[in-house]
Structure 1
Amino acid sequence: MNRIIFSLFILTSCTIKNEFSINDWAYYRGDNSVSHYKPFDLINKDNVHKLTKVWEYKSSDHDLENRSQIQCNPLIIDGVLFGTSAKMKLFALNASNGSLLWEFDPYDGMFSSHGTGVNRGLNYFRHSSGDRILYATYSKLYAVNPSNGKLIQSFGENGIVDLKEGLGRNVDSLLLAANTPGVIFKNLLILGHRASESTGAVPGHIRAFNVFSGKIEWIFHTIPYPGEYGYDTWPEDAYLRSGGANAWAGLSLDEKNEIVYVPTGSAAFDYYGGDRKGKNLFANSIIALNANNGKRIWHYQTIHHDIWDRDLPAAPNLVTITKDNKNIDALAQITKSGYLFVFDRKTGEPIYPIKEKKVPKSSLIGEFSWPTQPVPTIYPSFSRINLSDDDYPIRSKEAREYAKRVWESSKYEEFLPLSLSETILFPGLDGGGEWGGAAYNPNSGIIFINSNEMPWSLKMNKKEGLTLGKTVYNSGCMICHGEDLKGNLGVYSNIPSLVNIKDRMTNKSLEEIILNGKGIMPSFSNLSNDEINAIINYLIDPETENSTYEKMNSWPYPYVFGGFKKHYAPDGYPAIKPPWGQLTAIDLNKASILWQIPLGQHDDLKKLGLIETGTENYGGPLVTSGGILIIAATMDEKIRAFDQNTGELLWEDKLPAAGYATPSTYIIDDKQYIVIACGGGKLNTKSGSSYVAYSIN
């Protein structure tokens, strides 16, 4: 009898919707259409200059070596703020004053590594039987009672679901991290995840979990199985062994039409696809799925057979376009390459034509690069797409000569495949657009995008002649520590040097870090004992390792990734003419740029008269009906307010650490607040532990 009643309860619960006050910020990035927008005007263009800090909450668990981050876009519901700390703790605050109400630590004090992932946000499910917060840390999904911070024992196993289960193969030793929240549709949590970018990656299948039980209700195979659409765009056995094609950046949901939109990344191994001949659907695709059952409605692939790691970096914005005097329910997708793709979100038809551009052929043995790539024809790019002599830095002769020397010794062309020579990728691996996503004002039809403009160099190396230790290093360590072991490059720009590591650490200490991770370094517990011993010996003495170990035979490709580097001149600043970060407003109805400005400043360069440089940036904007845009994101550790119509700077303030996150806004007792997580830690900036709230007193 109890079993029957429970089943009926689950079925009837499908009709109950998440309903929240308009004053709440109840969804990651504002709403299921990821607009980053609220119809609030208590803070507006006329009074935003009066914003002051009204409270600051310090979780005090940041990394003192500046390797932790907080990227969370917090939720505010019924006067309570829900956020996460640098150590992935979930907490609740009084949103009026920032006082702590409760805290949940999924690691019970045993958190060890800031690597492999962060938490960018939460899902809140409202129901008559009791509300719940669903959030993930690495490969675990938790259901937490928002009133007291306790696990809801009926969900999964004692409140926890292992996300490594239910992918159709054993992935226990592989990286899986759900950094970004999914979307809740009826009684389903639809969720993607992060995967490794090297060999042995988990598949990126999209799953819908029952919000009450944690059971998987449906799955969509992003690497298709036999008989499924797209299966013929891969080798026959790809569904058994290939990985990636995953949606790490979040999802969008059209509740009215019951469609979930999935932006996917590249297939793994990211930079060589000789073992995955074909277009590789549904990697690098926008996929429209029936939210009830996961069935494909339409798809569009923005990169065919990706060999540049051109993941779709953010969930698409669901927008309305006016064209030929008709309103069209549309979808706008930003990209790392700086292009903006816009589609009819019901049919998948482009709003304006997209051409297939002929691109260079790969010179690597066994690689079958795709001959064309999609390029929008009408909507403007929001960042520079091509490099020319006009882009050499002008601040000094030394910087200009450095850039000229590097560019002339490297290969560059849009969509140029990697080779054994240095190849310039521009915009670089972090865009163009990034995970902060775009903001959209539904009243004006304007989309606002912050972007990076940094050239990166990448290359491949031949496998032959490599030893086991060197190969393990190349595949798992070089991406951060560099080919020369000197560190301080890559996404974080605060990576320690491994040169002469034997003078600082014992073999046992190195083994413990490899197995458990430390700082921003993830665990590499998937390595075999032979591989661990080989990498330790390589780090201790590369010359000895070269003569001691056999040549590497288990690496499945003829090439290994030779690492990447950002183009910094000897003075430490980007080896390209500014702007290095931009904020762009695009009128989607007119398909034109309304305004574009540099975002961020460098204090040392300001003293030299170089003010409008922009900086590299991570995080997203917030827009309101008050006509303002609020964004932090920059490495100068500031938060700013701009006029949505003109891009004019209206207000700014210094944060305790950089706000590499997206702000939230909410109203309590007729008072509007803006709150931002200040975790820092990227781009060689200090780490922080604060959430800072602003209002007008």
Structure 2
Amino acid sequence: MAVIITAVLSIILGLALAVGGWKVISLGGTWYFAALAAGFLLTGVLLLVRSRAALWVYALVMVGALGWAIHEVGFDWWQLAPRGSIIAPLGLWLLSPWICQRLGWQHFGARAWGGSAIPLLIAVVLWGATAFHAITTDNNDIRGMLPPPLAAAPSAETNSPVDVPDSDWHAYGRTQHGTRYSPLAQITPSNVDRLEKVWHYQTGDLRRPGDPEETTYEVTPLKIDDSLYICTPHNFVIALDAETGEERWRFDPQVPDSSNRQHLTCRGLSYHASKTPTVGQSCQQRLFMPTADARLIALDPKTGKVCPAFGENGAVNLWKNMPHVKEGFYYSTSPPVVANDLVIIGGAVNDNVSTTEPSGVIRAYDVVTGELKWNWDPGNPEQTEPIADGETYSESTPNSWSISSADEKLGLIYVPLGNQVPDQWGGNRSENSERFSSSIVALDLQTGQLRWVFQTVHHDLWDMDVPAQPSLVDIQTASGMVPALVAPTKQGDIYVLDRRTGKPVLPVREVPAPQGAAEGDWVAATQPVSALSYEPPKLRDTDLWGATFIDQMMCHIQFNSLRYDGRYTPPSTQGSLIYPGNFGVFNWGSVAVDPVRQMVFSAPSYLAFTSTLIPRENDEETYVSDSEPYLNENFGAPFAVELKPFVSPIGLPCTAPPWGYVAGADLRTGKTHWLRKNGTVRDRAPIPLPFEMGVPSLGGPVVTAGGVAFLSGTLDYYVRAYDVTTGKQLWRSRLPAGGQATPMTYQSRSGRQMVVVVAGGHGSLGTKAGDSIIAYALPR
């Protein structure tokens, strides 16, 4: 019976491979699966007639598959494993007495393993030896060391606003320079493994029925004096005792639920302290919080009460002067910038619903009164004086949904911009949208006037918004100290620019881009590429992956059915493979910059997506969505768009791991000194096995003067600590939910350096939801 079952299984596998293999060949792909099909079919037939030749044939199958696998992927364990996941175990099974004794051998033992079994035994041993070599060899990492700081390296004080105490964290990126660097050094590589949980606070703000899919905890807390301040997805603001984690006050802005919102998140708050405090007067300090119903609220951090002099009863209405007012279609998920006594804010526009959306205007308000001081409208960039009542800003312009940075000494704010909707079709974009889409703009802090613009993608058809806060750092170059800006992008480039002029500090070159846009559209001839880049290599057949060769074959069918010409393959009605996809090599979590070591710590991620244009016949039907807000319908454009991850039928990526790394690079040279795969599949696999395969991360890192970096955003539920010099993981702690936020660190009143992690999960990534704020410190 064992022989019959094995024969039938081999024939079934052979037939599946034959059908799929022929499809791959017809699409111009590899002949490997068809050849493998022939081997399985012949083995199955010979087993049915109980011929010993089945073992010889299967030995050839194993040796041929092993040779082909090594030819394609070398000794990369996670690429070899699926190629042998059925082949090798079946070969071992064929050597068992339940098969051997039924193929003519009458005795178990040496005679049962002789003759025709020897070639198969050799093939199994070869697979085993190859597997052992591959699993003990790391083919993906770069294991180097960052150089020590130069004698002439600038101090942390040179690179940071001086009004932020070392013990505090006053802005999303600690300061308005957005480096995510702390000058605290109590925690070091030699003691970080002793970190222990000090307190664990739960906000009580959990997901509700009807919330958007992308309901997320992405907040980085602020630490001011002796308090922590956080916001939650439903826009509660909570003050905690920084030493104990005990709640001090809570503010509920009463944001109504809405089915129209694409996101429900609050990445953080902003802070302002009056330079001339008045005794006994409230709101000498202010917290600013943007809400999901498009308000900007000012709160007194001492009491949690609104500051009534700001705007109307403590809030500014961000819908004012907006075109196409529709609840849920405009709001800010990111904290504003506070600089020069102004609070400056952009906003998010729902992606790809229609061609008539709210404006991407950037507005500056007086921090005390809420009076509008200037507005920079990407559709009307020269007119920055406050718009008159009754007028509206330009519709559907590139918006800034992420976090900006400011340099008060230079008098500039640096704004990362997205795209004009729809993202995947640009046939009707305006001249100004073409100029500003997917760019970084530097605006004058006092007037809002444009000082320079640097575009990271020309005529963006891939949703490659500049997603992250630029980091401001002074870099030592051969020409002297340069005030620089470090900007990570979704496509994997990290641009290092002179923040005075927008000119590259590290070289940027224009490279030819694939052509052939959809009807009515066009594609830029070239695209910029930075000298410091984590752009993945162009995908090949050999890079395709699966848990077994069956789903790997299905990925081959998909791959060869799609249009793919490398990075910036235009979207198409055929369906295009977009790699890296709009999840981004980098996203809103940005990077962390050590201003003393002149290095950048980053967490590049690699996921591919597909983009298929669906011709629209009218604006009444929905083609890709079932309910409001009708994302990706693109009403008013000739195409809707269907966006999907490039995954196998069982939901695993069709691209081989690692899918996530941590990396350390020298900003003076652009050289990556180390690159290490990061994270396990424990919380993503059907069986929770902690394989160190390297998983994507969403949420940024923080680096410290102690030489330690922290990151919690991986798709497994851990916060980790790393040696900044080598990238080696030094410590990790299990989280109760997804940690897709950027950690922060501060010094408490007892003198302990605390590391705080937010673990609330991420709806669109499917990580476990929660409401935890957790603090770690060294033992007393």
Q: In which range does the TM-score fall when normalised by the shorter chain?
A: 0.7 to 0.9
Deviation at 1:328, TM superposition (A): 1.3
2-side partners of 1:412 and 1:223: how far apart? 33
Aligned to 1:564: 643
2-side partners of 1:140 and 1:478: how far apart? 24
Aligned to 1:575: 654
Go from structure 1 to structure 2 and tell me whether the alpha carbon gap of 1:18 and 1:43 turns closer, same or farther (over 3 Å shift): closer
Aligned to 1:678: 759
**Counterpart mapping for 1:254-333 below 5 A:** 254-276=407-429, 278=431, 280-324=434-478, 326-333=480-487
2-side partners of 1:220 and 1:203: how far apart? 11
Aligned to 1:692: 774
Contact 1:196 1:202 in 2 (8 A): no
1-side partners of 2:758 and 2:535: how far apart? 26
AA aligned opposite 1:687: A
Aligned to 2:559: 407
**Counterpart mapping for 1:330-369 below 5 A:** 330-369=484-523
CA deviation digits over 1:612-644, x for unaligned, max 9?
A: 322222110010011101000012110000100
Deviation at 1:402, TM superposition (A): 2.2
Q: Does 1:69 align with 2:150?
A: no
Q: Does 1:44 align with 2:126?
A: no
SS in 2 for 1:356: strand
CA deviation digits over 1:233-277, x for unaligned, max 9?
A: xxxxxx976414111111011121111111101111211111116
TM-score with structure 2 setting the length: 0.72
2-side partners of 1:269 and 1:23: how far apart? 44
Aligned to 2:696: 616
Go from structure 1 to structure 2 and tell me whether the alpha carbon gap of 1:557 and 1:149 turns closer, same or farther (over 3 Å shift): same
Contact 2:201 2:773 in 1 (8 A): yes
2-side partners of 1:267 and 1:608: how far apart? 41
Go from structure 1 to structure 2 and tell me whether the alpha carbon gap of 1:240 and 1:70 turns closer, same or farther (over 3 Å shift): closer
SS in 1 for 2:603: strand
Deviation at 1:112, TM superposition (A): 5.8
1-side partners of 2:393 and 2:370: how far apart? 25
Q: Does 1:389 align with 2:541?
A: yes
Contact 1:208 1:219 in 2 (8 A): yes
Deviation at 1:438, TM superposition (A): 0.4
Higher normalized helix content (fraction of residues): 2
**Counterpart mapping for 1:405-484 below 5 A:** 405-413=557-565, 414-464=567-617, 468-471=620-623, 473=625, 479=631
Go from structure 1 to structure 2 and tell me whether the alpha carbon gap of 1:474 and 1:424 turns closer, same or farther (over 3 Å shift): farther
Go from structure 1 to structure 2 and tell me whether the alpha carbon gap of 1:294 and 1:611 turns closer, same or farther (over 3 Å shift): same
Contiguous gaps of at least 5 residues in structure 1: 1-16, 229-238, 484-553
One of 241, 261, 266 as aligned partner of 1:119: 266
1-side partners of 2:220 and 2:627: how far apart? 32
2-side partners of 1:558 and 1:268: how far apart? 13
One of 746, 749, 753 as aligned partner of 1:666: 746
SS in 2 for 1:81: strand
1-side partners of 2:626 and 2:299: how far apart? 40
SS in 1 for 2:434: coil
2-side partners of 1:174 and 1:391: how far apart? 41
Go from structure 1 to structure 2 and tell me whether the alpha carbon gap of 1:225 and 1:605 turns closer, same or farther (over 3 Å shift): closer
Go from structure 1 to structure 2 and tell me whether the alpha carbon gap of 1:107 and 1:610 turns closer, same or farther (over 3 Å shift): closer
The percentage of counterpart residues that share the same residue type is: 31
2-side partners of 1:418 and 1:321: how far apart? 39
Contact 2:405 2:413 in 1 (8 A): yes
One of 281, 289, 313 as aligned partner of 1:158: 313
* Number of aligned residues: 593
AA aligned opposite 1:118: T
**Counterpart mapping for 1:533-544 below 5 A:** none
SS in 1 for 2:542: helix
Q: Does 1:58 align with 2:164?
A: no
Aligned to 2:380: 224
1-side partners of 2:606 and 2:180: how far apart? 23
Q: Does 1:88 align with 2:231?
A: no
Deviation at 1:323, TM superposition (A): 2.4
Aligned to 2:153: none
Contact 2:232 2:265 in 1 (8 A): no
AA aligned opposite 1:219: N
Contact 1:86 1:689 in 2 (8 A): no
Contact 1:174 1:201 in 2 (8 A): no
AA aligned opposite 2:462: W
Contact 1:37 1:624 in 2 (8 A): yes
Aligned to 1:487: none
AA aligned opposite 1:411: R
Deviation at 1:611, TM superposition (A): 3.0
Contact 1:35 1:318 in 2 (8 A): yes
Deviation at 1:226, TM superposition (A): 7.7
Kindly name which structure, 1 or 2, has the bigger radius of gyration based on alpha carbons: 2
- Which has the higher mean CA deviation after the structures are superposed, 271-280 or 304-313? 271-280
Go from structure 1 to structure 2 and tell me whether the alpha carbon gap of 1:460 and 1:478 turns closer, same or farther (over 3 Å shift): farther
Over aligned residue pairs, what C-alpha RMSD do you find?
Answer: 2.5
2-side partners of 1:301 and 1:211: how far apart? 30
Go from structure 1 to structure 2 and tell me whether the alpha carbon gap of 1:225 and 1:606 turns closer, same or farther (over 3 Å shift): closer
Contact 1:383 1:451 in 2 (8 A): no
Aligned to 1:13: none
Aligned to 1:142: 297
Q: Does 1:193 align with 2:275?
A: no
1-side partners of 2:607 and 2:434: how far apart? 28
Contact 2:380 2:394 in 1 (8 A): no
SS in 2 for 1:407: helix
1-side partners of 2:628 and 2:760: how far apart? 26
SS in 2 for 1:403: helix
Contact 1:177 1:195 in 2 (8 A): yes
Go from structure 1 to structure 2 and tell me whether the alpha carbon gap of 1:585 and 1:475 turns closer, same or farther (over 3 Å shift): farther
1-side partners of 2:308 and 2:231: how far apart? 21
Contact 2:377 2:393 in 1 (8 A): no
2-side partners of 1:324 and 1:185: how far apart? 32
AA aligned opposite 1:405: I
Contact 2:681 2:689 in 1 (8 A): no
Aligned to 2:666: 587
2-side partners of 1:426 and 1:356: how far apart? 19
Go from structure 1 to structure 2 and tell me whether the alpha carbon gap of 1:104 and 1:364 turns closer, same or farther (over 3 Å shift): same
Larger relative contact order (CA 8 Å, sep ≥ 6)? 1
Runs of 4+ in 1 over 6 A off after TM superposition: 604-610
Aligned to 1:498: none
TM-score with structure 1 setting the length: 0.81
Deviation at 1:472, TM superposition (A): 8.2
Go from structure 1 to structure 2 and tell me whether the alpha carbon gap of 1:695 and 1:396 turns closer, same or farther (over 3 Å shift): same
2-side partners of 1:18 and 1:152: how far apart? 26
SS in 1 for 2:436: coil
One of 10, 16, 29 as aligned partner of 2:173: 29
**Counterpart mapping for 1:637-656 below 5 A:** 637-656=717-736
AA aligned opposite 1:76: K
SS in 2 for 1:268: coil
AA aligned opposite 1:693: A
Deviation at 1:357, TM superposition (A): 2.2
2-side partners of 1:202 and 1:424: how far apart? 30
SS in 2 for 1:53: strand
